[in-house]
Amino acid sequence: MASTTRRYYFAARNEKTDHGYMINFVNIPQASAVGATYEETVYYSYRVLADFLSHLPDDEAALAAYSLKTLPETTDDNVFYSLVSVTPDFDPHKMVTHFTLPQAPPEEIRKKASELAKLVHHQNQAREAAGLS
Contact 46, 87 (CB under 8 A): no
- 32, with CB counted inside 10 A (0-12, 13-18, 19+), is middle
User: What local confidence, expressed as pLDDT, does residue 74 receive?
Assistant: 78
Q: Using one digit for the tens of pLDDT, what is the confidence trace for 66-104?
A: 888 777 887 788 888 889 999 999 999 999 999 887 788
Q: What is the mean pLDDT of the chain?
A: 85
| 89 falls within a domain | yes
Contact 15, 32 (CB under 8 A): no
Number of domains in the chain: 1
Domain at 69, CATH number: 3.30.160.250
User: What local confidence, expressed as pLDDT, does residue 131 receive?
Assistant: 52
| 54 falls within a domain | yes
Dist CA 112 CA 106 (whole Å): 10
Residue 76: count other Cβ atoms within 10 Å of its Cβ.
9
| 1 falls within a domain | no
User: What local confidence, expressed as pLDDT, does residue 33 receive?
Assistant: 97
| 3 falls within a domain | no
Which residue range forms the structural domain that includes residue 85?
8-129
Question: pLDDT grade, residue 133 (50/70/90)?
Answer: very low
3-state helix, strand, coil in the chain (%, to 5): 35, 25, 35
| 2 falls within a domain | no
